[in-house]
Amino acid sequence: MKKWVFLFVIVALLGYEALQRTRENANGSPGNAEIPVQVSGDASRQRSEGKQGESSKQVTISVAKDQVYKGKLVLVNKKNAVRSEGEQTDIVRLYEHKDLIRGFALLDNTIRLSREVAKEFGEMMEAANKDGVNHFMISSGYREEKEQDKLFREMGSDYALPAGYSEHNLGLSLDIGSTQKEMNQAPEGKWLLKEAWKYGFILRYPKDKTTITGIQYEPWHFRYVGMPHSAIMKENNMTLEEYLDYLKEQKTITAHTEGNTYEIRYYPYSKNMKITIPANRRYDITGNNSDGVILTLYL
């Protein structure tokens, strides 16, 4: 696998980061893609909006307060509880949806997960199978608060969070195991460490970030955040906590990958909030679960 090359140059008040990643192309062979990421502040956002306004119409979207508490990037930890709005609305029992079980086993028939996340996970498993890594098993997915409370009492605060403060209450996180070995030794664990980000997943509790996450290293616990967020976090060795702080500080990031350009903007929430974006552009809005929203524009 080709190595990533990272370049960071300070030019005046702007910083430029270069990322390079690989992902299988349509015929299954490895392909290379350069991902330059431009980091800037409010001034760049204004220039970007102005340039787009010259060539396309603008539309205004309203942002309700509850948007702060839902979406792929909401932060859930000891300080940030899951709101009812944050729970995914497409939770399904995987055992009852055989079309979603692709290339992995289930620990039991009670495991639930967001349908969207299950689809993305299935695509990732098919890629792993092509690489000869094929002993994956989901041991846990979405949990109701009573299930989380029981686990917290059994495991303690180092390895579990109180009911209402666990990502498992969202439906975006899952515990992935191997039927062969423990995940910190299994080929499945090693494959995920290298490849999961390509499919929108991140290792949520890394070994070197325990003081930031407040949770001990869990090589089995992965969280779905989607692209391009997973790519940026992987390249910069960021946890979700660090990434959200980074977006709040920088205000705007522009990323280009495989012919796709993304503009990611952070906005602090305000009453009667409205955001202006280019018309006819795909976009996604997610909250950070505390005080703002992140807009991802597909340019």
Question: Which residues have C-beta within 8 Å of that of residue 203, sequence separation ≥ 6?
Answer: 192, 193, 196, 219, 221, 222
Distance in angstroms (rounded) separating the CA atoms of residues 159 and 151? 9
Distance in angstroms (rounded) separating the CA atoms of residues 92 and 155? 26
Which of 274, 286, 282 lies closest to 298, judged by CA?
282
Q: Which three-class secondary structure state does DSSP give residue 43?
A: helix
- Given a contact cutoff of 8 angstroms between Cβ atoms, the answer to whether 130 and 166 are in contact is no
Q: Could you identify the residue written with the tokens 């080709």?
A: 2
User: DSSP alpha helices (H): ranges in 132-178?
Assistant: 145-155
Distance in angstroms (rounded) separating the CA atoms of residues 125 and 107? 16
Residues tagged active-site? 218
Q: 160: which strand partners?
A: none
Distance in angstroms (rounded) separating the CA atoms of residues 68 and 215? 24
Distance in angstroms (rounded) separating the CA atoms of residues 82 and 75? 9
- Given a contact cutoff of 8 angstroms between Cβ atoms, the answer to whether 137 and 176 are in contact is yes
242, exposed or middle or buried, with CB in 10 Å at 0-12, 13-18, 19+? middle
For residue 202 the two structure tokens come to 């991140």
Distance in angstroms (rounded) separating the CA atoms of residues 26 and 132? 18
